[in-house]
Structure 1
Amino acid sequence: MKQKKIPMRKDVVSNEMKPKKEMVRIVRDKAGRVAIDPTGKKSGRGAYVSLEPDAVELASRKHILDQALNVTVAADFYQELLAYVKHQKARKELFGDKNGK
């Protein structure tokens, strides 16, 4: 049986290639609004961050998303992202990969 290809994306924090399922996409639309893209299909400039709270905290301290998306990202967005990542990580640990995104 043929092995299914796993889509890989580059984490903007660690610069490592990781499976897309283990990442969260952050998108900047044409109006300059920054949002979490759980589906990975919103149009706009995207950047991927690992589903690790430490990675989000590092991105917040060093303003990595500001550089990747060419826009100033508010501190409250980083808090929202941190809460989202913690929720997704806990969900993945409880339910496994089939329900986690």
Structure 2
Amino acid sequence: MRTRKIPMRKDIVTGEMAPKKDLVRIVKDKENNVTIDETGKKSGRGAYVSIDVKVAQKAKDEKKLNEVFSVDLSDKFYDDLIAYVDHKQARKELFENDK
């Protein structure tokens, strides 16, 4: 059986390459709306953040997504991102322990 290629993406906060499944995609559409892309398939310009609360908090502290997308995002968006990443991190830890 052939080994499958693992898609790698760069975390915009740490600058490290990681498997796509270990990152959260944030996307900016044509109307300049920035949203968390839960499916990873929305159209628009994407950026990736690690599924790590510390990294998401650092993105908020440095206003990294404002820089990347050239928009002014509210603190609420960053808080929602941190909550989403916290949820994904908890699920990942929970289900990795089942293996």
Q: Report TM bin, short chain.
A: over 0.9
The residue aligned with 1:43 is 43
The residue aligned with 1:8 is 8
Which ranges in structure 2 are unaligned for 5 or more consecutive residues? none
Answering whether residue 64 of structure 2 is matched by residue 64 of structure 1, we say yes
Taking the aligned partners of 1:53 and 1:11, their CA distance within structure 2 comes to 13
Taking the aligned partners of 2:71 and 2:85, their CA distance within structure 1 comes to 21
Taking the aligned partners of 1:95 and 1:2, their CA distance within structure 2 comes to 25
The residue aligned with 2:91 is 91
The residue aligned with 1:18 is 18
- Detail structure 1 runs of 4+ shifted over 3 Å in the superposition: none
Taking the aligned partners of 2:51 and 2:80, their CA distance within structure 1 comes to 13
The residue aligned with 1:29 is 29
Over the aligned positions, Cα root-mean-square deviation in angstroms equals 1.2
- Normalization by structure 1: what TM-score? 0.91
Task: In structure 2, give the amino acid aligned to 1:51.
Answer: I
Percent of aligned positions that are identical: 53
Aligned length: 97
Which ranges in structure 1 are unaligned for 5 or more consecutive residues? none
